[in-house]
Structure 1
Amino acid sequence: MTSERRRRLRFNHYRLSTKLILTYIVLTVIPMAVLGIFSFIQYKESIEEQIGEYMPRFLRQANANIDNHIADVMAMPKLLLNSENTLAILRKDSYQSQADQNKDQYAVNNYLTRTYLNGSNSDILGVFVLSRNRLFHTSRIPFTGLDWESMLTPYGQDMDLRGKEKIILPSEIKLRFDGDIPYVMIMKQIQDTDNRKDLGTMFIAVQLTFIDRILLDFEQNEDAEIAMVSLKGEVIYHTRHELIGSMDMAVHEYPIWNGSFRESRSEKLISVTESQTFDGILVHSIPLEDLTARTDWTRTLSIMIFSGFVIVTTCLTVVFVLRVMSPIKKLIHLMKEVERGKFQVGLNMQRQDEVGILVRSFNSMIATIRELIEKNYDIKIRQKEAELYALQSQIDPHFMYNTLETISMAAEEGEKEAVVGMVTQLGRMLRFSVGNKSRFVPVREELQHVMDYLTIQKFRFEQRLSFDIREPHDLELYYTPKFIVQPIVENAVKYGLESRDKLIVEILVSRELGLRSGMEDIVIKVRDNGPGIPSRRLLEVEESLRQQTLTGKDSEFGLGNVNTRIVMMHGPHYGMQLHSVEGKGTEVTLRIPMIRLEDVSDLEQD
């Protein structure tokens, strides 16, 4: 059962229409679909690669802009040195009264406000100066959590930064501005250049919104995220401000810190570059689906176009297959009719393509088959008619009566040898006519049959009839259609003895080169000195032979039967020719091809 099912599923067992449609799908639809998918994947990967190459460059540029801005802020402590009054206050070690200290504190705070909180420094939230256990400060926004003794002392005037700046993260101190505005604290020592002493430490709280401005023209995708993360994993900055101050320990799992990579877990493309200023990394992440949003739209459009193309081309293919298969199916139906023996069929089609050629070839084949059948049938009918004609001639009451009477007279006269000879010849003639069913016989047997006939006739007519048969010595190698010589000889005897006292019949067999066939043929000539055929009658007989229309059961039927059989078997280059002169005699020439034994089986099947 399984093997039978597999056999039915083989491609060779499918219908031609199914094969054509499957071939179209395999050779057109599938390759185009694979090519489209492959192109989309390659295009998508190329976008990822391009963004992966360009994004770190943009991040480095953004990082440089951030560093430049921080560098500008880090240079601001020098502005304190521009005020002699402020320097003098910072150089004081002690006060005589609290009022003097409050006065100095007011003066420094006022200077800090005018200098650092003006319109051009909108990113500065507050400035704090710790000097000799004094805290001077100014703030743009109210703040809480400033405990300078516990929080700022570690960064006080006694700390030696060696002239460098330090960035303090909000997680390292408790300072909070109203609204939880994200910031970083920049710390730098204030040095008295004249005395080469440290006057204290300045803390500048910088609002991180300046990073938003830097990145404003850098990334406009709503789903993209940019973050500044410290090496400890603390989020210093994030485009989603609520994440600032949180911890992102995934940075420690990043394979690289300068470049791009694909994170398969979250399906994101992450680009990273290091930041020396913040001692961390600047991270850009964007979902892969956002990168290929346009390609997804292109993919959808391509799928729609491809689907439309497949539908249209499939319909056209189906229509084409149906147009091709329709006449083929009709041909199959007609072939089944022919298989049942119905040859009167045909298909009318004017197409000039291969199908039209096939239909015309089929019609031509059927016409040829009909012609061959009719020809073969006609040959067999004529062969049977010739056999019947020969048999009728041999069992004709007159022929049999005359032969038996001759045998009786020879017996009365004691001519035993003549009796034995005539009986033997008559039996051989009947055996040749009835016993041999083949359409072809050796030329020598055909001539022997004629010799038997003439010998019996000579016993009867004695000196009135004489005959001579001349033949090549190798006739046993060649074959001839059966009963083609006797009808001619019989015709010559019948009409010759009616008008001649002495009839001479000559039979000449030779091999000659045929002018029309171009091959060596066997030529059999039957001559007699009978009355001949009048010229007018001779023309009628020749025309009848050419048209193969002789009917009836007379002598002319015998001639027409012989000629028609030879032409049908061997073609128009062969057949019978008549040459007759009235009052002098007639010569009938038979031309047949040289048929060998190995050719007989093929001719018998035709």
Structure 2
Amino acid sequence: MFYSLRNRLILFFVILLVLSFSTLAILLFNEARSVIRSYIESSALEKMDEYGSYVDMVQTQIYDLASLVFNSDTTEKWDAAVSNPEIGSGEKMLAHLQMSQFLTRAANSYSSVSSVSIYRQEGLWVGSGSGSPVESGDFFKQEDWYVRFFAEGKHWVAAHRDQAELEQNNMHPVVSMLMPIGNFEPSRSRSVMKINIDADYFTQPLDRIHLGEKGTIYLLDENGQPLLEPSSFEIGAADRENIRKIRSGSAKQGVLYVSDEQSRTSIIVYKKLAMTDWILIGKVSEADLYANLFKLRVSIVVAASVLLLTSVIVASLLSYSITKPLSKLVSAMNDIKRGDFEKAQRKIPPALPVHSEIGYVTFTFGEMTRQLNEHIKTEFELKLLRQQAEYKALLLQINPHFLFNTLELLSSLAMQKRTDDTVSVIESLGKMLRFSLHIQDDLTTVREELKYVRDYVAILQIRFGDRLHIDLKQQPGLDELKMIKFILQPLIENAVKYSLPQRRKATVNIEVYREQRHIHLTVQDNGPGMSDGSVHRFLHAPSPARLEQILSSSSWHIGLGNVLARCRLYYGDSFTVHIYSPPLDDDSGPTAAGTRIELVIPVTEHMREPENAEIETMKKER
């Protein structure tokens, strides 16, 4: 049964689909859970930041109001009047009313403040508002917040119902901040200021922040107790330990993953508020957080089962025994079309038995690809060797040419008995020969090439004296860059040779500078210039026939042609040349510009073999 290629492919396809859908379902579930968790965490922390800024704003208003009342002259006068036993009750009542009006104005200046009250130990209450601003009695001394303030110095009071607020028909719970009057030390103060904020001012924005379906974020005080009511946040021993760890840690906000005795994982998100020791904290179980995701996983399994069944039916109708191998062959053909034979050979499927049509096609195509690749590789190597030989031949042509000219100069100097000049020429020639005899090295540094040029210029200055002026300018920082040898000296030789017969004084300007990733080498003379036809011929890459003409030529074009041919062989498309030769009038002065040749070569930081550059270039051509 499974001998048939079609049946084996169907079986393989079924197994592959089962594994694929199973893996996809697992990966999708895990990725979705990770995304949801990340979103919940980032969303909760973002909302906590917003709510934390809101709480900081409220606290800032409270502290500002407390500072205003504490430092006010009205408060100071009222405290002095109340503490003075010599002042009558009428005057004290007037001071109480003035203080109440001041507290009312102060409370109305801050939108978050519900009311402000001052309590005296003698049993006196002065508050803001339009009701009864002054009350006598010690009803407040039994309040928990009053006792804890003087006993423990607790300044913030969680949501509660203030007795004085109830008497003014305000039934809402309030969160309060306590501050002593006249002295910062509660135990030494006779009065305490109580600033009330409606608890709804905190709870309404907080109720809009949720974790999952049931999780909610709560505001806890410095003792880990909820500040707002009502609160369903149950603080157990484990939660208290987690809160303790959060407080002792240096992180201002973060996420914790905790597990209970039943190994149920819960997520705790927290943020420490900047101005107080309050903490925003929320806790939600993963079961609640991912309830919808678990439902989605069941739906994915059902959908994957249906798709699997459908795919098996379709796979039984389609035979991969032909389409799959042929698809690989088509892909391999596209790679061959682009010239990537190695990639094509990797794509060709293993050859099936020869009696199979697909096996025969695969085997034949693989053999054809292998033979064609070997043939192209052989031709490529032969072409590379031929180009290397041409480059060496052009390089060998330079040395004898410049040597013969220099020997003629030495002969002339000897006949003129110019001993010092002869010695100078011999020294410069010796330096040049030591450099030029190393023809196996195609590259040299800019520093060495210009040193070679300066030795050559020294010889020319001895030969022509005042009739020749050569100026060499080099941009700093180019000494260690690499370039091919002997490309400036032939151009300088041509410039001098054809400028002197036409001018009383020949001028040659040489400039070497860098622009971005290219080195510019320019040689400019005041000679007769070049014809448009000559310029056009030199601006085009030489063919093999043109190389043979250069090697066999004895005309003045040998220097420029040799340099351009070597640069094109070595740098390929990365090399460019510009030749400027404007027409000159017959009466042009000795400084008129005749020809300006500019070679632009790529920057080479390190030494490399020319065949490596050729291989890269020719691979691109393939």
TM-score range, shorter chain: 0.3 to 0.5
TM-score (norm 2): 0.39
Q: Which has more radius of gyration?
A: 1
TM-score (norm 1): 0.40
